[in-house]
Amino acid sequence: MASSLWTLCLVLISLVSVAFAVAPRRSVDVPFGRNYVPSWAYDHIKYFNGGSEIQLHLDKYTGTGFQSKGSYLFGHFSMHIKMVPGDSAGTVTAFYLSSQNSEHDEIDFEFLGNRTGQPYILQTNVFTGGKGDREHRIYLWFDPTKAYHRYSVLWNMYQIVFFVDDIPIRVFKNCKDLGVKFPFNQPMKVYNSLWNADDWATRGGLEKTDWSKAPFIAHYKGFHIDGCEASVNARYCATQGKRWWDQPQYQDLDQAQWRRLRWVRRKFTIYNYCTDRARYPQVPPECKRDRDI
Ligand SMILES: *[C@@H]1O[C@H](CO)[C@@H](O)[C@H](O)[C@H]1NC(C)=O
């Protein structure tokens, strides 16, 4: 009897801890001011519903952006974004994490606009110890200007995963054992911005921004951040191993996620640096784990 009570007790305890480990994912309602502040061109940010939604405006004078209040070592970060509609050629909408020091780490989502009716490109990149040049480019399976979609980064000691509406579109595994640096000891802030990049963004810079269509407006909501907050100089995370995104089930994708990632890669890939032999005659070491998944 005592032992079955004890068993019941253990079951209850583990249920509770799983509930905490799997964490609240209802992120859509987090207001701007909880996690973010404007970075530049404050007057080009417009607030709605008490800051639960905002717009970034780009015109020929300036773009604009905002950044997290905190710096983080690992975590789960997401943004609901509705991209600039219509003629967005030349514009870039970015959601990224960066440590912004000389040998910086960075995790990038960049959305490259296009002429009306032509598809956006989603470019992702990972910088470690100041080295980037790891671009992937995909088309999306929906029009990102029609509705909000959720873009997320999961970053722990084992992997960096890029998600679009909870579908993994890219995984960057920790390849320290192959001699590749992995971001683990430089706290990063989260940045969002909208700016003009018509020297490269659309068809390699051939399509220029049409300023007669300005202002270009991107919409944001769901300012979710669930990371280990660290001082800028911290070298490790005090809650290492204790948060939901740190748990064993987040050390790798599960079967269903691998299947979805394979689907994205098969159907929507435009470019992957790992298969660019002209640029990299010698395959970069981390590409071993970017195998034909
Ligand atoms: C823009 O549209 C053209 C033509 O469909 C396409 O080749 C290109 O990949 C699209 N996206 C960007 C960002 O250039």
Per the annotation, the verdict on 286 as an active-site residue is no
Q: Which of 92, 109, 114, 121 to mutate to test ligand 1, by most ligand atoms within 8 A of the CB atom?
A: 114
Range in 4-13, 21-30, 54-63 with the lowest mean pLDDT: 4-13
Give the per-residue pLDDT at 293. Answer: 59
The proportion of the chain whose per-residue pLDDT surpasses 90, expressed as a percent, equals 84
Higher pLDDT, 5 or 239: 239
Give the per-residue pLDDT at 3. Answer: 52
Can you tell me which atom of ligand 1 is nearest the CA of 204? 14
The full set of domain ranges for the chain reads 24-289
232: pLDDT confidence band, cut at 50, 70 and 90? confident
Q: CB of 271 closer than 6 A to ligand 1?
A: no
pLDDT in tens, 263-293: 999 999 999 999 999 999 999 999 998 865 5
115 by Cβ neighbours in 10 Å (0-12 / 13-18 / 19+) ranks as: middle
Query: What is the rounded distance in angstroms from the CA atom of residue 207 to the CA atom of residue 79?
Result: 28
19: pLDDT confidence band, cut at 50, 70 and 90? very low
Distance 263 CA to ligand 1 centre (A): 21
Pick the CATH number of 24-289 from 2.60.40.1260, 3.40.120.10, 3.30.2320.20, 2.60.120.200: 2.60.120.200
Q: CB of 112 closer than 6 A to ligand 1?
A: yes
**Bond preceding residue 24 cis, omega within 30 of 0:** no
Per the annotation, the verdict on 229 as an active-site residue is no
Reading the block at residue 17, the tokens are 């801890």
Give the per-residue pLDDT at 207. Answer: 97
Q: Whose alpha carbon is nearest atom 10 of ligand 1?
A: 119
Lookup result for tokens 């509406």: 165
